[in-house]
């Protein structure tokens, strides 16, 4: 957790409204650092439904395995229902073998006793250093204390408790009509490095008082991440711990119960839900480790949306593109390189490249009207938009990233010290 806030941080932290059926509390359990808030407990009223998407890493954390088993309705679980969420920072509990698996069970058992619930309805997430055993005995007493003082207003404290190298807490909210009722969607997230999600983000949790059945919530979540969290990259590295969980308490008065994601009454809610995810995803990009520039990569004229996504990611993950942006250098040749290496259909003589709306390359060469001074001035702006127009079809996509600075190297060179 940095003491220097990213220059790309939002001007203010939003105040999230209360969501009926959700209470939160945080504490310092000494997971890795003494005196630092590192545990979040979220409590849910009975009947709260849950959905989740997780990393596609072949080396997932023990907490990811635990949540997947609970959602699948395995032994000792109540598939699709949740009573609590326990999140710790400082230790990812990943690549920790049988010890890590035992730590998840002990954590869930301690939480279950504290709130008098079934351990199968306890969901877990961990973030931090990979490969170090998590001492779950540190949750003894701490979770009992958190359960006794959990409150419905503690959203900012919850967002801060899950931070690692983040420089600011990430929160978002929307209120929308469902039937004739007003329902609320709140979200928090953490993430600043090891970010190239293939499902969600490092850790993110979304809460609503809407009465939505678990299968419908799962469908909303799965579709919602594709153009939000799945379209963000900081450094091209997919975490072992990526977890996005959504919880629906169903406590909103007079709201219709939704059992199918295709229910037409869910249209406005689904839009607001995606907007919360998009807001959180952009905040992650703005807080990239050492970032000084928010970078939007647009690809259009591709043979398909999927092809456009791969080209956009090739540009966004290129260290040469990202360092050029850090140096405020309009080096469009590096964008040409990234398009060409993507392995997707592209034609050098049809390609056009734009920086912040100014065309710099066209039809296989530098644009005839290119003005180095004009473009260099644009590169000093805090947000840079790179557009690659391929001229081959109607496929288009958008990806968010940030620049790559010396601070990124410093942060990651010192991460375990």
| CA–CA distance, 248 with 211 (Å, rounded to integer) | 6
pLDDT band at 200 (very low <50, low <70, confident <90, very high): low
Q: Is 412 annotated as a binding residue?
A: yes
| pLDDT over 90 percentage in the chain | 86
Mean pLDDT for 60-76 is 85
With cut-offs at 50, 70 and 90, classify the pLDDT of residue 76. very low
When pLDDT is averaged across residues 349-374 and rounded to a whole number, the result is: 95
Range with the poorest average pLDDT among 76-85, 165-174, 393-402: 76-85
* 190 known member of a binding site: yes
Q: Are residues 270 and 216 in the same domain?
A: yes
Q: What percent of the chain has pLDDT over 70?
A: 96
Reading the block at residue 230, the tokens are 């799945």
d(CA 229, CA 316): 14
Last residue of a domain, one of 251, 286, 321: 286
Q: Does the annotation list 201 as a binding residue?
A: yes
Beta carbons within 10 angstroms of residue 101's beta carbon: 14
Here the CATH number for the domain that contains residue 83 is 3.60.70.12
- Give the pLDDT of residue 416: 61
From the list 26, 201, 240, 401, the catalytic residue is: 201
Angle of helix 267-286 versus helix 214-224 axis, rounded to 10: 50
Q: Are residues 321 and 243 in the same domain?
A: no
Instruction: Classify residue 313 by burial, with Cβ atoms within 10 Å: 0-12, 13-18, 19+.
Output: buried
Q: Are residues 273 and 350 in the same domain?
A: no
Q: What is the pLDDT of residue 77?
A: 47
Q: Is the pLDDT of residue 411 over 60?
A: yes
What's the token pair of residue 311?
A: 């080209």
Same domain? 152 vs 48: yes
| Encoded tokens for 341 | 């290496």
| CA 333 centroid distance within chain | 31
255 and 358 part of one domain: no
Note whether 307 and 190 are same-domain residues: no
48 is catalytic: no
242 and 337: one domain? no
Cα separation, 161 vs 150, whole angstroms: 14
Written as six digits, the tokens of 257 are: 């119960």
Beta bridge partners of 41: 25, 86
- Does the pLDDT value for residue 11 go beyond 90? yes
If asked whether residues 265 and 313 sit together in one domain, one would say no
How many structural domains comprise the chain?
2
Domain end, chosen from 261, 286, 311, is at 286
Same domain, 265 and 306: no
Adjacency order of strands within the sheet including 22-27: 22-27, 39-44, 84-91, 122-129
Query: What are the start-end ranges of the E strands in 161-291?
Result: 170-178, 181-190, 203-208, 243-248
Query: How much is the pLDDT for 374?
Result: 94
DSSP 2: -
Task: Give the angle subtended at the CA of 83 by the CAs of 77 and 85, to the nearest 5°.
Answer: 95
Q: Which of 222, 251, 286 is the last residue of a domain?
A: 286
Q: Residue 309's Cα: distance from chain center in Å?
A: 18
- Residue 259 assigned as binding residue: no
- Whether residue 245 is found in the same domain as residue 311: no
Residue 2's pLDDT is 57
Reply yes or no on whether the pLDDT at 342 is more than 70.
yes
Fill in the DSSP letter of residue 212.
B
* pLDDT at residue 1 is higher than 70: no
CATH classification at residue 367: 3.10.20.340
289 assigned to a ligand binding site = yes
Instruction: Please state, in angstroms and rounded to a whole number, the distance separating the CA atoms of residues 332 and 353.
Output: 7
Domain that holds residue 308: 294-413
Decide if pLDDT at 40 tops 60: yes
3-state DSSP assignment of residue 313: helix
* Residue 6 within any structural domain of the chain: no
pLDDT of residue 199: 60
With a cut of 80, say whether residue 31 has pLDDT above it.
yes
pLDDT in tens, 115-140: 999 999 999 999 988 999 999 999 99
253 assigned binding-site residue: no
């Amino acid at each position: 957790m940095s003491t220097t806030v990213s220059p790309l941080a939002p001007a203010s932290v939003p105040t999230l409204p209360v969501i009926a059926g959700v209470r939160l509390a945080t504490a310092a359990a000494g997971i890795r650092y003494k005196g630092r808030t590192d545990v979040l407990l979220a409590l849910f009223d009975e009947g709260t439904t849950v959905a989740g998407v997780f990393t596609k890493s072949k080396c997932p954390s023990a907490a990811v395995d635990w949540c997947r088993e609970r959602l699948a309705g395995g032994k000792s679980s109540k598939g699709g229902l949740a009573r609590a969420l326990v999140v710790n920072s400082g230790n990812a509990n990943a690549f920790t073998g049988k010890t890590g698996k035992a730590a998840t069970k002990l954590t869930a058992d301690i939480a279950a006793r504290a709130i008098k619930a079934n351990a199968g309805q306890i969901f877990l997430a961990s973030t931090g250093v990979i490969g170090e055993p998590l001492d779950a005995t540190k949750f003894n007493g701490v979770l009992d204390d958190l359960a006794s003082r959990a409150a419905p207003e503690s959203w900012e404290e919850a967002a801060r408790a899950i931070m690692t190298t983040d420089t600011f807490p990430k929160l978002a909210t929307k209120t929308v009509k469902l039937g004739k009722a007003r329902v609320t969607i709140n979200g928090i997230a953490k993430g600043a490095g090891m970010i190239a999600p293939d499902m969600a983000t490092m850790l993110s949790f979304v809460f609503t008082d809407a009465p939505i059945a678990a299968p419908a919530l799962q469908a909303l979540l799965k579709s919602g991440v594709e153009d939000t969290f799945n379209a963000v990259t900081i450094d091209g590295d997919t975490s072992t711990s990526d977890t996005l969980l959504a919880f629906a308490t169903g406590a909103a008065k007079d709201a219709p119960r939704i059992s199918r994601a295709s229910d037409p009454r869910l249209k406005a809610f689904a839009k607001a839900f995606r907007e919360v995810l998009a807001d959180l995803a952009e905040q992650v990009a703005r807080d990239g480790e050492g970032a000084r520039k928010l970078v939007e990569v647009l690809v259009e004229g591709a043979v398909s949306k999927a092809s456009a996504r791969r080209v956009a990611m090739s540009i966004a993950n290129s260290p040469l593109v990202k360092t050029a942006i850090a140096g405020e250098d309009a080096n469009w040749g590096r964008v040409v390189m990234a398009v060409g290496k993507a392995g997707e259909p592209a034609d050098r003589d049809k390609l056009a490249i734009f920086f912040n709306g100014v065309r710099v390359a066209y039809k296989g060469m530098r644009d005839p009207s290119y003005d180095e001074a004009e473009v260099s001035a644009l590169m000093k702006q805090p947000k840079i938009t790179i557009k690659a127009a391929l001229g081959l079809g109607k496929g288009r996509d958008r990806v968010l990233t940030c620049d790559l600075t010396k601070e990124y190297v410093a942060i990651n060179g010192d991460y375990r010290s």
